[in-house]
Structure 1
Amino acid sequence: MEALNVPMADTPVVTFWEGEIVDTKNYTFFTGKWEATQEDDTRHWSKFSSFSPLMAQVESDGGKSLDLSNYPYIFMRWKEQYFVNVGTDCGLTIAGFYYICFSCSDGSISGFYYDPNSSPYQKLELKSTNDGRSGFSFSSYELQ
């Protein structure tokens, strides 16, 4: 990711990210790290209307018994790992992470930032375009 117009940096700040796809096998809706409690997780996932139908099962067993393979949304966590081109004195923090929801129908991505030491529920929204092609396109992103 590239952050522009950072007050304490002379150039755009580039960060390296990693993500987790909530598949209920390798990763559940409960984060279990980065200072996030199950209550924090439930509060943040609940901000997505697409999460509502899953809420009871997640509260029951963390969602481990859910089959999300055909669900029209993909839930993820995105975490910045390090600054690529600047030191930690750039004025930005990478302490938190994002709760992410990807819509398989329109390609939109929305997210909420979590860091217990930052303003709550900072929102991320990415809208796709298809530029006359099939599928979805953003300026750049890749899901692996």
Structure 2
Amino acid sequence: MKRWLGLILLLVVALLVVWAGYQGYARLRALEGQVAALEARVEAQEQALKALGDRVGRLEEEVFKAPAPPLSLPEVPEAPSAPAWPYAVGVVVAAVLLFFLLQLLRGQREREKVQEPQTPSQENLEASRMEDEGAPPPKRE
């Protein structure tokens, strides 16, 4: 029986090898079919590119045969100028702020004069100094 078992095992292994070989062959045939289809697609695209190249060549010939104006530099587009109104508004705002600042300073100076009235002694000092410098004496009422 050992003999028959070895032969059966050998037959099963042989069948498995034959089946694996057939599967490999079938896959090889399928791949060959895919390669043939891809080669046909590449050939068709090659033909299309050649036809397109011929058309482009004919168009180039027509373009170069057509009369063209002499080459010149392209015209420079006009640059848009900046609007002037922001500058005018800025100048007006600056003038108004300067006016208010000067008014504020003038008001402070007047307040200082009002807060420090001249005393008669200060008036006499100023009058005597002016007389020393050669001014006529002030008229007294």
TM-score where L is the length of structure 2 = 0.11
Higher strand share: 1
Structure ranking higher on relative contact order (CA contacts 8 Å, 6+ apart):
1
Higher helix share: 2
Larger Rg: 2
TM-score where L is the length of structure 1 = 0.11
